[in-house]
Amino acid sequence: MGLDYSLKLATDMKRIQALGLLAERIPELQWSEEHTSLYAPDIIITVVEMDGMGQSIIEEGFGFRPSVSVGFRYPSNRDYENFAKTMLRGALPLLEQGRDGVLLFNGEIIVLQRIGGRLVFNADYRLYRDERWLTDNVPVPFERRPLPSPLR
């Protein structure tokens, strides 16, 4: 059984541009045959353009309207730390290029968010709980604090 995370992002990028940025920033990723996703042994990344109900739910909960959803799937039980680092290496440049965004686990638990230019990691979520690990892996200013989800 895999784990699924999704980055809901307000951006001017289209699906293929977001995938291209990810391929550029994480060179160990490979394109799928159909050029619809990127993958490595411990991660599969997909991007879909959003519309309708999904956009409305995020807008109501977080105050911004996402245009793309980036899926990060951990398909194995091999190297979870590598997955977490790779997901972060993908999410940060996308957030940098976009406006606001929120990374969710299972569609409702906030892992991190960037709203109004402020990057915040959820201190209550296990994935990025270690502040020293974050300091070593996040090259931009951030804060850690509890982020209760408005989607629950």
Mean pLDDT for the chain?
93
Record the pTM.
0.94
pLDDT at 132 over 90: no
Average pLDDT score over residue span 73-78: 87
Q: Which CATH architecture has domain 3-145?
A: 2-Layer Sandwich (3.30)
Which pLDDT band holds residue 77 (cuts at 50, 70, 90)?
A: confident
**Given this model, what pLDDT does residue 1 score?**
58
Tens digits of residue pLDDT in 33-54: 998 999 999 999 999 999 999 9
Mean pLDDT of 81-89: 93
Q: Which amino acid is at 135?
A: T
Structure tokens at 2: 């895999």
Contact 99, 64 (CB under 8 A): yes
On whether the CB atoms of residues 134 and 122 are closer than 8 A, the answer is no
Map out the domains of the chain as residue ranges. 3-145
Q: Return the amino acid letter for 90.
A: G
